Structure 1
Amino acid sequence: MILRLFALCLALVMLTACSVQQTGVQSSGPADVQRSYSLAGNTFSTVPGLDVSEAEGYYPFADIVWRGDPRGDRIAQIAAMFETAFDRNRGVLDGDQPVVVDVQLVRFHGVTNQTRYTVGGVYNIVFNMTVRDARTGTVIEPARRVRANLDAPGGEVAVRLEESGQTQKVRVVDFLTGVLRGELR
């Protein structure tokens, strides 16, 4: 019995160590591009064959894991969050060149309820982003990979955030809004 308890505790510590990261964004795009974009439009798609999981393990092995909405079409729910994030940036990105931004989702790995209410983890969002001239369709910035990680507090902290209105969806949409703004400025 003690050995079994020790193994469980060790597994939880290892899981926590693997899943706790700082919030951050990593992009393969050019750092020295001078941008003056106004957001005229956007598209959302996914790479073919993404796996969606509704499993409640600590770390389901799937491309799409999302629990911030009721069960349903998870890809449509994620597309709606990206759309909201783009909408929030329309008035902020008001530069000289109108652009269309194409997002192709590669991975959206949130946390399961089991993880959220215990150890916490990371929302891992990976997408390809292409920037095109809105008038001609010409590619201005070819597809680049964006990796964005947002801390997902666990346990009591997660409960307090939820109670204060900082739901998973609110936090992720706010984060995506900032990520997109940062990638386009």
Structure 2
Amino acid sequence: MMNLRAMILTAALGGSLSACAAVDIPSRNAPYESLPAYVEGVAEGYQEIDHLAPEFQPQAVTPVVAVGALTGPGTAAQKSPLLGSGVSVSKVNVRVPRTLKVSEANRYLPQGDIVWREDPVGDRHAQVQAIVQAGLERGVHALEGPVATELDVEVLRFHALTQKARYTTGGVHAIAFTMVLRDAETGEALTPVRQIEANFTAYGGRRALVAIAEGQTQKVRITQELAKVIQQEILRPGSRTPRRGGLILALNKL
């Protein structure tokens, strides 16, 4: 009898110990218990605040141009590039260095930095400067951002077609220049100096004659192309893919 009672006590003790060792299941993800029916109200400080919710909703954000960051100390290369939607260009300065070599040779691929024949023989540097100036001014005319800038450009190469290429094979208008946007008041560079390649197809033969008859002279087409190129390079720097002319374009750069 004693052994039976000992066995019963031992089993009861073991059960109580195993109950203490049971793992408690986390309840942080369990749904809240419903309140008993006799609870008619909510404790002070726990009332719903739905009427305040709109104050915490995100509001529309107006883009801000950080003018101070662009005009503060530091080099132009360290500053964020300006987007065209944030700038306006009050003045375009085009320089055609007198060190650029002019070629008047009537060959398919004359050597030189400036090849231009559509104006009468004269100051080719001044003629090229006027063409580039007109094209760039047309391109920046539509920019109306809050940051007033000036555009500085230096022509590196201006190759149109010679008479021989114009009336036979055609080729490539190979035009290159550097550009930088400066603060209109201080003259400080707001963007790094970048080299731009504005190369595009030059008509020749019958196609050139048709274009001339329609008023699409070399000067007109170059002016239009420069306007498009400068606008793209200010609005989306580096997004434009320049025309690749292969061997002809490479020779035309000599």
TM interval, short-chain normalised: 0.7 to 0.9
> TM-score if structure 2 supplies the norm length?
0.58
**Matched letter for residue 122 of structure 1:** V
Higher normalized contact order (CA 8 Å, seq sep 6+, divided by chain length): 1
Q: Which residue does the alignment assign to 2:221?
A: 171
Indicate whether 1:107 and 2:150 are aligned: no
How far does residue 173 in structure 1 lie from its aligned partner after superposition? 0.4
Structure 1, unmatched stretches of 5+, are 1-28
Q: Is the 8 A contact 2:140 2:230 kept in 1?
A: no
Distance 1:184 1:169 in 2: 23
| 1:26-45 aligned within 5 A | 33-35=81-83, 36-45=86-95
How far does residue 68 in structure 1 lie from its aligned partner after superposition? 2.2
Q: Which residue does the alignment assign to 2:185?
A: 135
Aligned residues between the structures: 156
How far does residue 165 in structure 1 lie from its aligned partner after superposition? 0.6
Q: Is the 8 A contact 2:81 2:191 kept in 1?
A: no
What SS is found at the alignment partner of 1:151? strand
Identity level (%): 40
Structure having the larger proportion of residues in strand: 1
Q: Which residue does the alignment assign to 2:199?
A: 149
The one-character-per-residue Cα deviations of 1:87-134 (angstroms, maximum 9, x if unpaired) are: 323430111111111101111011101001100000000111111011
> TM-score if structure 1 supplies the norm length?
0.79
Q: Which residue does the alignment assign to 2:96?
A: 46
RMSD: 1.8
Structure 1 runs of 4+ with >3 Å offset: none
Structure 2, unmatched stretches of 5+, are 1-76, 236-254
Indicate whether 1:87 and 2:137 are aligned: yes
Q: Is the 8 A contact 2:136 2:230 kept in 1?
A: yes
Q: Is the 8 A contact 2:140 2:227 kept in 1?
A: no
